[in-house]
Amino acid sequence: MTSSYSFRAELWRYPDESGWHFLTLPPEVGDDLRDEAAVFRKGFGSVRVTAEISGCTWQTSVFPDSKSRSYLLPVKKAVRDAAGISDGDDVAVRLAIQGEDEARTGERTSGTG
């Protein structure tokens, strides 16, 4: 069984020319995810997850962030466009840790991404 989380976070743009956008997981979600995903962590402490925003579901990884002491969820342009969200928006997110079998298949459940 995989753990799942629901939370709200502000979408922000990384301050360079790359255009990367992220959500910082709330500290309590980051703490729980760190504990629950210990056996699933990959290089640099990343954790494979399935994320959902406004009905758009995709698979990605969250990455540990030393500044916030939590994790960062990258939100690609296709998801931002489909969900109608942009820099500074408060976003509702559902996140589930991918178990080893699910991560290996790489199957997308629905939506854009």
Q: Residue 18 in 3-state DSSP?
A: coil
**CA 22/CA 106 separation, integer angstroms:** 21
Query: What does the pLDDT look like over 28-66, one tens digit per residue?
Result: 999 999 888 877 766 778 999 999 999 999 999 999 999
Residue 75 neighbours by CB under 8 Å, 6+ apart:
11, 21, 22, 23, 51, 53, 85, 91
Residue 90 neighbours by CB under 8 Å, 6+ apart:
8, 9, 10
* Residue whose tokens read 């309590």: 28
More confident residue, 75 or 18: 75
Q: pTM score, two decimals? A: 0.82
**CA 48/CA 33 separation, integer angstroms:** 11
- Percent of the chain at pLDDT > 70 equals 83
Mean pLDDT in the chain?
86
Nearest-10 Cα torsion for 73, 61, 113, 50: -90
